[in-house]
Chain A
Amino acid sequence: MSTIQEIQKEIIEDFAMFDDWIQKYEYLIDLGKELSPIDEKYKTEDNLIRGCQSRVWLHAEHTDGKIIYTADSDAIMSKGIVAILINVLSGQAPSEIATAKLDFINKIGLKEQLSPTRANGLVSMIKQMKLYALAFNN
Chain B
Amino acid sequence: MLDISKIRKQFPILSRKVNGQDLVYFDNGATTQKPQAVIDSESNYYQNENSNVHRGVHFLSGLATDKFEETRNTIQAFIGAKHSHEIIFTKGTTDSINLVANGFRTLFKKGDEIIITELEHHSNIVPWQMCCEQSEATLKVIPLLDNGELDMNEFNNLLSESTKLVAVSHISNALGTINDIEEIIEKSHKIGAKVLIDGAQAASHVSINMQELNADFYCFSSHKMFGPTGVGVLYGKEEILNELSPYQGGGEMIKEVSFSGTTYAELPHKFEAGTPNIAGVIAFKSAIDFITNLGVETIAKYEDELLQYVTSEILKIEGVKIYGTAKNKSAILSFNIEGLHPYDIGMIVDKMGIAIRTGHHCAQPIMEKFNIPGTARISLAIYNTKEEIDLCINAIKKAKLMLS
Please give the distance in Å from B304's CB to the nearest CB on chain A. 30
In the complex with contacts A53-B358, A53-B359, A29-B341 CB distance below 8 A: no
- Would you call A21 and B343 a contact (CB within 8 A)? no
Complexed CA–CA distance, A114 and B350 (Å): 10
A 73-113 binary contact with B (CB < 8 Å = 1; else 0)? 01111100000000000000000000000000000000000
Give the CA-CA distance A75 to B359 in the complex, in Å: 12
Tell me if A77 and B347 are in contact (CB < 8 A). Answer: yes
Residue B348 at the chain A interface, CB threshold 8 Å: yes
Complex Cα gap A115–B347 (Å): 7
Contact (Cβ within 8 A) A54 B403: no
Q: Report chain A residues within 8 Å CB of B359.
A: 53
Q: What is the bound-complex CA distance between A119 and B374, given in angstroms?
A: 19
Q: Determine how close the nearest CB of chain A comes to the CB of B25; give it in whole angstroms.
A: 15
Residues of chain A within 8 A (CB-CB) of B402 are 22, 25-26, 29
Contacts of B348 in A (CB 8 A): 25
The smallest C-beta distance from A80 to any residue of chain B, in angstroms, reads 10
Chain A residues with CB under 8 Å of B344's CB are 54, 75-77
Q: Does A55 contact B (CB under 8 A)?
A: yes
A118 within 8 A of B: yes
Within the complex, the shortest CB–CB distance from A110 to chain B, in Å, comes to 12
User: Does B373 sit at the interface, judged by CB under 8 A?
Assistant: yes
Q: Within 8 Å CB of B19, what residues of A?
A: 21
- Among candidates A22, A26, A76, A114, residue contacting B341 with C-beta atoms closer than 8 Å: A76
Which chain A residues border B374 with CB–CB below 8 Å?
53
Given A53-B358, A76-B403, CB of A25 within 8 Å of CB of B351: yes
Give the interface residue-count category, chain A: 10 to 19
**Which B59-88 residues sit within 8 Å CB-CB of chain A?**
none
Q: Does the CB pair B351–A54 fall under 8 Å?
A: no
Give bound CA distance, A58 to B350, whole Å: 27
Fill in one digit per residue for B346-379: 1 if any A CB lies within 8 Å of its CB, else 0. 0110110000001100000000000001100000
In the assembled complex, which residues on chain A have CB atoms less than 8 Å from the CB atom of B347? 25, 77, 114-115, 118
Picked from B341, B350, B351, the residue with its CB within 8 Å of the CB of A75 is B341
Assembled-state Cα–Cα distance A115/B351 (Å): 9
A84 CA to B123 CA, complexed, in Å: 37
Count: A-B pairs, CB below 8 Å: 38
- From A22, A25, A26, A54, contact of B343 by CB (8 A): A54
* CB <8 Å contact, B351 and A21: yes
Q: How far is the CA of A136 from the CA of B342 in the complex (A)?
A: 35
B18 CB, nearest partner CB in chain A, Å: 11
**Which chain A residues lie closer than 8 Å to B373 at the CB level?**
54-55, 74
Q: Mark A30-69, 1 if CB is under 8 A from B, else 0.
A: 0000000000000000000000011100000000000000
CA distance A75 to B337 in the complex (A): 12
Q: With the chains together, A75 CA to B19 CA distance in Å?
A: 22
Alpha-carbon distance A128/B35, docked complex (angstroms): 43
A22 to B19 alpha-carbon distance, docked (Å): 12
B366 to chain A, nearest CB (A): 16
Residue among B19, B347, B373, B374 having the largest count of chain A Cβ atoms under 10 Å: B347
Q: What residue in chain A is nearest B374 (Cβ atoms)? A: A53
Chain B residue numbers with a CB within 8 Å of A76 are 340-341, 344, 403
CA of A21 to CA of B18 in the docked complex: distance in angstroms? 13
0/1 per residue, B28-55, Cβ < 8 Å to A? 0000000000000000000000000000
- Chain B residue contacts of A25, Cβ below 8 A: 347-348, 351, 402
CA distance A25 to B343 in the complex (A): 13
Complex interface: chain B residues within 8 A of A21 (CB): 19, 351
Chain A residue numbers with a CB within 8 Å of B340 are: 76
Residues of B within 8 Å of A29, CB to CB, are 402-403
In the complex, A36 Cα to B348 Cα: how many Å? 24
Closest-by-CB residue of B relative to A24 is B351
Minimum Cβ distance to chain B for residue A53 (Å): 5
A29 to B341, CA, bound (A): 12
Contact in complex: B341, A54 (CB < 8 Å): yes
Q: Which of B343, B350, B402, B403 has the most CB of A within 10 A?
A: B343
Query: Could you list 26 A-B pairs, sorted by A, with CB under 8 Å?
Result: A21-B351, A22-B351, A25-B347, A25-B348, A25-B351, A25-B402, A26-B402, A29-B402, A53-B358, A53-B359, A53-B374, A54-B341, A54-B343, A54-B344, A54-B373, A75-B341, A75-B344, A76-B341, A76-B344, A77-B341, A77-B343, A77-B344, A77-B347, A78-B343, A114-B347, A115-B347
Known: A21-B19, A76-B344, A115-B347. 16 other contacts (CB 8 A): A21-B351, A22-B351, A25-B351, A29-B402, A53-B343, A53-B358, A53-B374, A54-B373, A55-B373, A75-B341, A76-B340, A76-B341, A76-B403, A77-B341, A78-B343, A114-B347
Query: Which 5 residue pairs spanning A and B have beta carbons closest together?
Result: A75-B341, A75-B343, A54-B343, A77-B344, A21-B351
